[in-house]
Chains A and B, each alone.
Chain A
């Protein structure tokens, strides 16, 4: 917990991730406030799985998330552009050949 939180009575923000059924990954569902991790996971259950949306819940302190810089979007993700040879659809010679 950061000092910013520990100096106030405000409950910190948590990001909630829900696994909707076995075999699927956890997906970001939203966020909530809770005094600590123990309560956060319970609050997440109460808030985000009222209609059987989940079989597993993760909570992460919102300020523990490190994100890429949106301003460098062009540069940060440019490298992946134009490299179609990374995708199976790039290879056309095998069309019509089975199991390939």
Chain B
């Protein structure tokens, strides 16, 4: 008898990781402040998932369609955890929050809201965001809030892969051809003014000591590691001042309205429907 099963390479299983449904059913209720913090993190993941979802069928190669879809699905999962948990404070569902909040109620940063641009710009955004998210979730593991800590545990493992994916591509584009190097640099340059918004200690984070991770404390480790990759790829760390209005309130962005117009159109046309 052989131990190697004939079709073992296609044996599937569902795994036992945390799901949005479990968070909803857990009965864990976020306080107002924790919910507002969860929205900040969740909205970032949601917007980026929405943007990356736009790559599917448009990637440079089939294998990359699949890679970007995996990353988008991970981020959408994080958004669902966080929005579900945030909603527990107000008796709202993830979909209430995703589809029926208006532009000025979202707390995503402008970086994740930007259009995809070319592959170099998308990879530049992936580099910055995934390194930020990795620092964030590493620290959030120690949160006194057990739900946030559990979400961080799942998300951390996934963003570690996003980080690696981004870094591999930055190297290849940075060192590949003259054109790819130019495009990669241009992607970094165009997004750089929006990076600082990730690290601003917006409301209500200062009131959540021990629960939230102050974004300002993530600036140095994130940017040090991002800079290392950029330099390894033969590129230049941009020297650009932060764009005015980095407070996640969306009052200084044109992108958010368009994303929401598209994302929410069907749900809002049928406000009483379930799907």
Contact = CB atoms under 8 A, between A and B. Distances in A.
Q: Report if A and B touch in the complex (beta carbons < 8 A).
A: yes
Interface of A: 11, 17-18, 20-21, 23-25, 27-30, 32-35, 38-39, 42-43, 46-48, 50-54
B274 interface: no
B200 to A, nearest CB: 33
Nearest first, the 4 closest Cβ-Cβ pairs linking A and B are A51-B12, A29-B9, A20-B8, A27-B9
Contacts of B8: 18, 20-21, 24, 27
B61 interface: yes
Nearest to A51: B12
A43 B63 contact: yes
Contacts of A38: 168
B4 A42 contact: no
A86 to B, nearest CB: 16
Say what secondary structure dominates the interface of chain B: helix
Interface string B67-93: 100100000000000000000000000
Given A33-B63, A42-B168, A43-B63, A28 B9 contact: yes
B26 interface: no
B31 to A, nearest CB: 35
Interface string B8-43: 111111110000000000000000000000000000
A46 B66 CA distance: 6
Nearest to B62: A33
A89 B164 CA distance: 52
Contacts, number: 63
Contacts of A46: 63, 66-67, 70
B252 to A, nearest CB: 36
B157 to A, nearest CB: 13
Nearest to B14: A52
A29 B10 contact: yes
Give the interface size bracket for B toward A. Answer: 20 to 34
Contact of A20 (B11, B14, B15, B61): B11
Contacts of A52: 12-15
Nearest to B71: A46
Contacts of B63: 32-34, 39, 43, 46-47
B9 A48 contact: yes
Interface of B: 3-5, 8-15, 61-63, 66-67, 70, 164-165, 168, 172
Nearest to A25: B4
A23 B67 CA distance: 28
Contacts of B61: 11, 33
B9 A18 contact: yes
Contacts of B13: 51-52
A43 B15 contact: no
A47 B4 contact: no
A15 to B, nearest CB: 12
A35 B64 CA distance: 12
A82 B234 CA distance: 64
28 contacts: A17-B9, A20-B9, A20-B11, A21-B8, A24-B5, A25-B3, A25-B4, A27-B4, A27-B8, A27-B9, A28-B9, A30-B9, A33-B61, A33-B63, A42-B164, A43-B63, A46-B63, A46-B66, A46-B70, A47-B66, A48-B9, A50-B66, A50-B70, A51-B12, A52-B13, A52-B14, A52-B15, A53-B11
